[in-house]
Structure 1
Amino acid sequence: MNITGNTIFIPGATSGIGLALARALHAAGNVVIVGGRRTDLLASLTAESPGIHAVAIDTTDPASIVAAAERVIVEHPELDTLITMAGIMRVEDWHAADGFLETAEQIVTTNLLGPIRLIAAFVEHLQSRPSATIMTVSSGLAFAPLAVTPTYNATKAAIHMLSESIRLQLADTSVRIVELEPPSVRTALMPGQEESDFAMPLDDFVSEVMGLIESSPDATEIQVENVKFLRYGEARGDYPQVVETINRLDPHGH
């Protein structure tokens, strides 16, 4: 992915990593369209960041995804990059079904079906561009589990393997698949995470991500240094220690 000159749609960019990345990509010389459910947030975001466009979208609603995709492609036919940012993280208790089932289903709908439906809505258009990128968003927890967030971990592991697989399928097209693998970052993804000493400062994370995109435009995985402890535990042979460490230092998911 090139650092500049793209037209980028980022559903799930009204807060946290998505919003910070949208602003950084816009500042780097890209046309950026953010997506979110709340039209009031979208209006304030575009007012605060002139030049950034906005489209209403609910990534848990298949009809909303189709409608938003049609609008984005009509209004921005030069669109060449999709970043599937929208996601949720929730604590679950799996001792009884009423402690986790409804929450788990919501997480799967948002974190896994959402990106799949988004890619389905845009993949044909992206193949028509001379060069295009789909950036998926997994997590360090795709590679080492946090005990209190089992379905989140599972959906992010699925996103990793989905990225690996569709990269193989689309190798004969103009579309590249890039996987962003955040560590814990100081956002409102989980209660208390914005104040967590364990989490990486948001500005530091986005700055490092932008540097990696610029220095390694052909990378298939974007990994800041903080996530490598989680990402490569099995390869290093210290996976049990990694799992013990994150569940001791960050037992509540932040």
Structure 2
Amino acid sequence: MELKNSTILITGGTSGIGLEFVRQLTYLDAKIIVTGRNLHTLEETKKRFPKAHIIQSDVSEPESIERLYAEVVQQFPELNIMINNAGLMRQIDLQDNAMDLLSINQEIATNLTGTIQMTHKFLPHLKTKSSAAIINVTSSIAYLPYTIAPIYSASKAGAHAYTKVLRLQLEDSNIKVFEVLPPGVRTNLQNHWELPPPEGRMMDVEKMVRDAIDGILRDRPEITPGLAKTVKVLGRILPNTLIKYGHGEFKKLKQLRVTS
């Protein structure tokens, strides 16, 4: 897939993986449109990357997507690539009744529903381009449930299944469908966590995105940077062992909450 001189929309592009995509794709001379919920972080992104275009938008809200679509197709009719990157990950105890229904649904609304709604809205526009792509950033957790982050696990597994179906349904179209399944990556996604992830298995965000872009340029439909390859293989041959290993972190979180 050619990225140079493309016009690329990146959701959740003000921090972490999304911001690194902005940085590296800018060096490839792509025109970048960055979306995010927070106007302040959007403005900070604009200061760092003056050539980037910023639009405030929330992928979890259908009305916000409608407004985003109208603005983008009017200002950037050449848009041909979309990166569904916006994500939310929380450490949740499913027996904690303090969370209301709206709160418990936040990750589904962002990670899964947001990806589906963005794709559904922009798909007709992308079909008008001679060369187009949809790039969904999911997670290697899509291969195996991670008990310390149950709603995130469910949403990313759903996004993984959706992406595979989307790719098949679009197989005879001009739109290429890519999926990036990162392992644990050092970003601010974990800043609010009570129990930090094991440092030894976290991947540097710059290398992760570099590997992802390399996979896109090579037309690899499913891209598994770093330890994601290992998770994919072990998820097939030793799924229960790997799930139990990850469940140890949830037990540590439970103990931490008891003693704090």
TM-score (norm 1): 0.90
Match of 1:233 in 2: 234
Q: CA deviation at 1:97?
A: 4.3
The residue correspondences of 1:158-169 to structure 2 (distance < 5 A) are: 158-169=158-169
Match of 1:206 in 2: 209
Match of 2:256 in 1: none
The residue correspondences of 1:155-234 to structure 2 (distance < 5 A) are: 155-191=155-191, 196-214=199-217, 216=218, 218-234=219-235
Q: CA deviation at 1:249?
A: 6.7
Would the alpha carbon gap of residues 204 and 249 (structure 1) be closer, same or farther in structure 2, given more than 3 Å must change? farther
Q: Deviations over 1:65-100 (max 9, x none)?
A: 111111111111110001111110111112254457
Letter paired with 2:216: I
Alpha-carbon distance in 2 for matches of 1:229, 1:194: 18
Does the Cα contact within 8 Å between 2:140 and 2:183 map onto a contact in 1? yes
Q: Which runs of 5+ in 1 are unaligned?
A: none
Q: Deviations over 1:212-248 (max 9, x none)?
A: 233x2x211111132112122243x122232233344
In structure 1, the residue corresponding to 2:176 is in which secondary structure?
Answer: strand
Would the alpha carbon gap of residues 92 and 194 (structure 1) be closer, same or farther in structure 2, given more than 3 Å must change? closer
Indicate the larger mover: 243-252 or 146-155: 243-252
Match of 1:90 in 2: 90
Match of 2:60 in 1: 60
Is 1:245 the counterpart of 2:254? The answer is no
Letter paired with 2:225: V
Does the Cα contact within 8 Å between 1:92 and 1:103 map onto a contact in 2? no
Indicate the larger mover: 183-192 or 54-63: 183-192
Match of 2:76 in 1: 76
Would the alpha carbon gap of residues 46 and 96 (structure 1) be closer, same or farther in structure 2, given more than 3 Å must change? closer
Letter paired with 1:134: I
Alpha-carbon distance in 1 for matches of 2:132, 2:157: 24
Match of 2:43 in 1: 43
Q: CA deviation at 1:205?
A: 1.3
Letter paired with 1:196: E
Would the alpha carbon gap of residues 15 and 238 (structure 1) be closer, same or farther in structure 2, given more than 3 Å must change? same
Letter paired with 1:145: P
Indicate the larger mover: 172-181 or 96-105: 96-105
Letter paired with 2:42: L
Alpha-carbon distance in 2 for matches of 1:52, 1:138: 24
Indicate the larger mover: 132-141 or 221-230: 221-230
Alpha-carbon distance in 2 for matches of 1:180, 1:43: 27
How many residue pairs end up in the alignment? Answer: 249
Alpha-carbon distance in 2 for matches of 1:23, 1:234: 32
In structure 1, the residue corresponding to 2:112 is in which secondary structure?
Answer: helix
Q: CA deviation at 1:155?
A: 0.7
Q: Which runs of 5+ in 2 are unaligned?
A: 254-260
**How many percent identity over aligned positions?**
31
Q: CA deviation at 1:114?
A: 0.7
TM-score (norm 2): 0.88
